Amino acid sequence: MADVSFPPVSFDTHPSRYVHWVLSVEGAVATMTMRVQEDRPMWPGYELKLNSYDLSVDIELADAVQRLRFEHPEVRAVVVTGGYDKIFCAGANIRMLASSTHAFKVNFCKFTNETRCGIEDATTNSGQTWIAALNGTASGGGYELAEACQEIYLIDDGNSAVSLPEVPLLGVLPGTGGLTRLTDKRKVRRDMADLFCTKAEGFKARDAVKYRFVDGSFTRSKWAEGVKARAAAIVAAATPREATGFALPPVLPETTADGFAYRSVKVQIDPVARTAALTILAPTEAPSVGADTWSLRAWRELDDALLRLRFNYLDIGLVTVRAVGEAEAVLAHDVALDDGSWFATEVRFFQARVLRRLDNMAKSLFSILEPGNAFAGSLFEVVLASDRSYMLADDDGANRVRVTAASGGRFPMASGLSRLQARYPGTPELGVRVLCEDNWIDAARAEKLELVTATPDAIDWDDEVRIAVEERISLSPDALTGMEQNLRFGGPETCDNKIFGRLTAWQNWIFQRPNAVGERGALKMFGAPERAVFDYRRT
């Protein structure tokens, strides 16, 4: 059963159904206008005042980021701005956060972070440069949205400012990567970042430009002209893309007796065991160009399934992952993406984003490899992303996998490493040897190459897998989340790595502390006439 602490979340939307955003495209320039309807929150109980946002607002933004890449490849600049006078965005809605469960707060922050990483990915890999045109004050998550853009411009009207007021006002961290992007991306000095994050009113245009919190400003009389000129300059400097986009149809699962299912992905839920079985079906049709080809459609289904598991099934602690069908068909679809076209490139970048979403699941992941498995090429990345992998050692060697160049860096982790590099921190030569195999690998060879965790034979298979699952489920979920997050985010530190491996962990902790969420905590007392009450002992 789905979690009943809040209504199930659906991530399906379309520009024609957007409530809080307006997407317009004129030639090579797209404009995303944030016009949040305060009386249309995701759930009753709060109002979305001052262009503040909840999950429904960010679901629409995530949808737009994706659609621009596939439906409008001609776009070279995306301007994101506010739809109301003197306010860009007040950030995440405080009443929504204060009334949410701890799990929802953390998952909300994680999703908004992934959306903002998607904006940066679009700028870097699709040549769609995002520009934040702050037509008014941008505070908290509003400024964090701006930070995800390549350039930030603030209106100089004597009143509008940028700020990250979470620490002084709410007793929590700027949870959408704000701290990390200040220092790692915008190269703000640590002392100025410290001042900025504790100065609730923030900085107006002159000082915001001086200390690199924004890239520039325009007076009110020159605002529209200045933003338009900057977008035009970015388009002029960009490489034009001669491509025709295509519509992305809805990705909606059918409800089944024990879970939900799409055409190529199905999920079975066992609420008593607190496990889910996720199965990916290999393609049965030839590769094509368009939304219905397996390389895009099945991975969109996987992405949606991961989000539904994350938000709607909080009690599920472990997901077993299987891929079944013709592995050769998976490889054929991978090869079809080698032609260097904009479509092939976008699909690969999307698959990489889905795999990073998989890395970020706060659930244990066990890959199960049995005869007839389709873990080859791009799908073998799922095995490498799992916390453990069990491969049946069959007598005739029919249980095989295939590692291809897809694992050689095509799908980088948040650290920038390939999952194959991350697998062999002390023996990198093994990763090189695996990439040179260029053949099917049976269980005995997979064990020798250290590609899987264990290779039980048929006699021990059922018991060993069952015991491993039961043991995992019996452990503390908090300890497991901390352990998995540390192990999955090894390697060099990058901006993304810090956001998901460090910042998210700290925010997770702070969101449970009485200083933030207690009856007299800062988050609960926001807007009240009394001050928050803190326990001032620091550890």
Q: Which domains does the chain have, with CATH numbers?
A: 15-237 (3.90.226.10), 254-480 (3.90.226.10)
Check if the beta carbon of residue 385 is closer than 8 Å to that of residue 407.
no
Secondary structure class of 84 (helix, strand, coil)? strand
**Residue 45, phi then psi, degrees to nearest 5:** 120, -10
466, amino acid identity = R
Write down the catalytic residue from 136, 141, 245, 521.
Answer: 141
The Cβ of residue 241 has, within 10 Å, a number of other Cβ atoms equal to 16
**Torsion of the alpha carbons at 42, 48, 54 and 57, rounded to the nearest 10:** 80
* DSSP for residue 9: P
Secondary structure class of 300 (helix, strand, coil)? helix
Write down the catalytic residue from 92, 132, 146, 323.
Answer: 92
Rounded Cα–Cα distance for residues 261 and 241 (Å): 36
Angle 7-8-11 from CA coordinates, rounded to 5°: 130
Helix/strand/coil percent split, the chain, to 5: 45, 20, 40
Pair type for strands 265-270 and 318-324: unpaired
519, amino acid identity = E
Write down the catalytic residue from 114, 120, 166, 301.
Answer: 166
Q: What is the largest CA-CA distance in the chain?
A: 78
Rounded Cα–Cα distance for residues 252 and 259 (Å): 13
User: 166 an active-site residue?
Assistant: yes
Rounded Cα–Cα distance for residues 382 and 278 (Å): 11
Residues found in the chain:
539
Which residue, 373, 413, 367, is CA-closest to 389? 367
Instruction: Give residue for tokens 């020159």.
Output: 222
User: 60 an active-site residue?
Assistant: no
User: 144 an active-site residue?
Assistant: yes
Angle 354-425-448 from CA coordinates, rounded to 5°: 90
Rounded Cα–Cα distance for residues 69 and 461 (Å): 44
Q: Is 357 exposed, middle or buried (0-12, 13-18, 19+ CB in 10 A)?
A: buried
Write down the catalytic residue from 144, 147, 301, 381.
Answer: 144
User: 120 an active-site residue?
Assistant: no
pLDDT in tens, the chain (539 residues): 344 456 799 999 999 999 999 999 999 999 999 999 999 999 999 999 999 999 999 999 999 999 999 999 999 999 999 999 999 999 999 999 988 999 999 999 999 999 999 999 999 999 999 999 999 999 999 999 999 999 999 999 999 999 999 999 999 988 888 999 999 999 999 999 999 999 999 999 999 999 999 999 999 999 999 999 999 999 999 998 889 999 999 999 999 999 999 999 999 999 999 999 999 999 999 999 999 999 999 999 999 999 999 999 999 999 999 999 999 999 999 999 999 999 999 999 999 999 999 999 999 999 999 999 999 999 999 999 999 999 999 988 899 999 999 999 999 999 999 999 999 999 999 999 999 988 999 999 999 999 999 999 999 999 999 999 999 999 999 899 889 988 998 889 899 988 888 777 788 888 888 999 999 999 888 888 899 999 998 88
